[in-house]
Structure 1
């Protein structure tokens, strides 16, 4: 049975297997969570979605390179929530 404990080594082993920490008769450090924080950097919408939205807004209109770049930046900021 899994509930049986022969000694402190069993507690340490089970804690390690399950990623638990414990304090008391046996002390096992809780493992460090190395999962990256998804909100550490600001959200940026994907470039293909920005380009798609820019194309919709231009609706076939021809604009200069500088104007298009400004629109791409503006749309990217809007879609990213900036």
Structure 2
């Protein structure tokens, strides 16, 4: 996950947005570029604040970083799976596919020996190997 600057201590929309400019300070070139990109994407930046720390990685001046209230921050953080403890947003862990159940080799071998004993030892090495695979698959629940 890419590092994002944490959101400041946020209490209400009024205190969060108080005395903030649009996020560009005196840099009119960047301001005009960000405004143009936002309008081209269908976002109206009027009355909003640009928060560059909410840009997706690799997308400077992203229209997605224009916010008008705290709910915009929550929405962006949830969508991108970013932590923002002050907003009560916690990134969820990305779960990988569960690994298939693996049977201990000793248990499989024990069952093979039982079957070989039941057959009075009349089992070829190939049949023994097939037995071993069958027992392991059955125990994993993958046998069709």
- Provide the TM-score with structure 2 as the length reference: 0.33
Aligned length: 60
Q: 2:133 matched to which residue of 1?
A: 73
- List runs of 5+ in structure 1 lacking aligned partners: 1-7, 10-19
Q: How well do the aligned residues superpose, as a CA RMSD in angstroms?
A: 2.9
- List runs of 5+ in structure 2 lacking aligned partners: 1-8, 11-82
- Provide the TM-score with structure 1 as the length reference: 0.53
State the Cα deviation string for residues 10-43 of structure 1 (Å, max 9, x = none): xxxxxxxxxx965xxx325414426x65x62322
Q: 1:5 matched to which residue of 2?
A: none
2:115 to 51, 57, 65: 57
Which 4+ residue blocks in structure 1 deviate beyond 3 angstroms? none
